[in-house]
Amino acid sequence: MPAYDIVVSIINEAKRLRLSTIWEVDDLIFDKETLIKSRTISALNKEIIDQLVEGAGLYRKAMLLCDKGIASTEGLADAMKKAGLPEVHVIENALDRQTLEFAEKVCREHVIHQNGIVRIVYGSGTNTHNIDFRKLHLRLSKYWQVSNVRFRLIGILDLPETFSRYEGRWNVCQPVPTKSI
């Protein structure tokens, strides 16, 4: 959470009650300079990029108000420590229950081992993975042309126009969003 007034007041109240406060993150959203140089967000529209860059200071402030942190990678944990958070633990990203249930449903509905078919599956939670996928796409481009290769996207991603050449050999599955409690 960014350090909006209500968030700061909740953190301060937790401290008053002598409760430990922990700030968790899985992206480097608290470093303005890194965001400005980021190729990952460069594909987003300018308004969103500006909001992310301007919000970095609020994320950093909330992080530094907390006692500890949780990061999804060692590199992110190091960046949090370098920014001034004294204690950071790493808990790597994992698949949530909803994604696992969706994957089970897909497996039940489709034959996995089918006449030598090679399936490439890519999961993406946001369109910020477009740049990552473009790199992967270039490395795998020779395989897209092989007739027994199938591609399945689970999630959100802008597929390159070149995929239209392989119509019928790829599909997109998007999990149905669940309501938050």
Report DSSP state, residue 127. Answer: G
Q: Determine if the pTM surpasses 0.85.
A: no
Domain residue spans of the chain: 5-90, 97-173
Q: Count CB neighbours of 26 within 10 A.
A: 14
| Distance of alpha carbon 6 from alpha carbon 122, whole angstroms | 38
pLDDT for the residue 20: 95
- Contact indicator for 28, 35 with CB cutoff of 8 Å: yes
Q: Which two tokens stand for residue 146?
A: 């092989």
User: Within the chain, what is the greatest distance between any pair of CA atoms?
Assistant: 64
| Of residues 36, 40, 37, the one with CA closest to residue 27 | 40
pLDDT for the residue 18: 96
What does the chain come to in residues? 181
> Where are the alpha helices (H) located in the chain, listed in sequence order?
5-16, 32-37, 46-65, 74-83, 97-109, 130-144
Ordered mean pLDDT values, 10 residues apiece, the chain (181 residues): 94 96 92 84 80 92 97 94 96 78 72 68 73 75 76 79 76 60 41
| Distance of alpha carbon 108 from alpha carbon 117, whole angstroms | 17
Region class of 106: left (phi > 0), else alpha (psi between -120 and 50), else beta: alpha
